[in-house]
Structure 1
């Protein structure tokens, strides 16, 4: 195998891993919000609290966010170039909302993945910036399609990375000094 072909193959694997991380994160995020009526109400309340939208528009925004997250998953599944673009747009909007909430020093939780009691903080903004970098990598490293075995290997690599993102708060708590 030539060096050029090897580099192209590595780019394809890395781009596919990045796309699968984005899809996995958005899938867990959407599923966590719709898994039961209480989770959905908590997310809808978060939309109102974090965006400052009145309850009426928040009722429309919450399902639109979930629908957009599921659309990203579907677009990754069909290898559409629009998947990482839509993911980047969503992540940018989410990051702006979280950043604004952070500067207002709100004590409201994000409920980004599932019910949370952790108030929005810098860790949420950092998580989203990391996801934006992953989305950019998914877009930049799009090359040739992988064989089914390549997809399986990429999925195995993406799984633990999705778990790190989903449990970001818990992991951050492990490295945060406890108050005396």
Structure 2
């Protein structure tokens, strides 16, 4: 299970890194994220900026807890597992909160844009809830999977890292993938087609 945990770490870490950096990259990007939070009317205007900053910094913390161990050395030891466990737990909590927020937007029929990665202006919808559910499943897998006491092979780590990066990129362009396969009217409303 060692490679699965490492794969989940890289996948979730990269997704949360890009999500946080995309919001922090400019004042305009952060303001757009604030506007989306305000549109749903789940928060009072006074709470929007502090909540937006807290969410963005939490995303950055997830990335740091999951990715920094790779920069400092190979995955081993109690500190590695403690950091990863914390990162996965925060990720699951954030994904649940984001999904609840999207559900609230849909229930209130608010057409707020997804600013998860600042790449898309697609309205929040069911596909975003599905994406968050898949990411939460990956984070839970990483959190609950048994840790392997054996050293991981460098070649296996390269394959795991490559797969994780490809999956992370697919997550980041998820809106575009959905729009390719959904009929125009449904994709515009954030609703996947049913067959």
- TM tier relative to shorter chain: 0.7 to 0.9
Gap runs ≥5 in structure 2: 70-79, 186-195
**Contact 2:113 2:121 (8 Å CA) reproduced:** yes
Structure 2 vs 1, CA of residues 133 and 164 (structure 1 numbering), >3 Å: closer, same or farther? Answer: same
**Contact 1:34 1:40 (8 Å CA) reproduced:** yes
TM-superposed deviation, 1:147: 4.1
TM-superposed deviation, 1:21: 0.6
Structure 2 vs 1, CA of residues 169 and 29 (structure 1 numbering), >3 Å: closer, same or farther? Answer: same
Gap runs ≥5 in structure 1: 1-10
Q: Which residue does the alignment assign to 1:165? A: 171
**Contact 2:65 2:87 (8 Å CA) reproduced:** yes
One of 34, 40, 45 as aligned partner of 1:44:
34
Task: Render the CA deviation track for 1:124-172: whole Å, top value 9, x for unaligned.
Answer: 1111111111111111224136547244332211001001111110000
Q: How many residues align?
A: 169
Q: Which residue does the alignment assign to 1:100? A: 104
TM-superposed deviation, 1:52: 2.2
User: Which moved further from structure 2: 42-51 or 96-105?
Assistant: 42-51
One of 27, 31, 34 as aligned partner of 2:21:
31
**Contact 1:27 1:69 (8 Å CA) reproduced:** yes
- Whole-angstrom CA distance in 1 between matches of 2:33 and 2:153: 36
1:5-24 to 2 correspondences below 5 Å: 11-24=1-14
TM-score (structure 2 length as normaliser) = 0.80
Q: CA RMSD in A?
A: 1.7
**Contact 1:16 1:142 (8 Å CA) reproduced:** no
1:11-160 to 2 correspondences below 5 Å: 11-50=1-40, 52-76=42-66, 77-78=68-69, 79=80, 80=83, 81-114=85-118, 116-144=120-148, 146-147=151-152, 149=154, 150-160=156-166
**Contact 2:23 2:118 (8 Å CA) reproduced:** yes
- Whole-angstrom CA distance in 2 between matches of 1:115 and 1:50: 20
- Whole-angstrom CA distance in 2 between matches of 1:59 and 1:148: 45
**Contact 2:14 2:168 (8 Å CA) reproduced:** yes
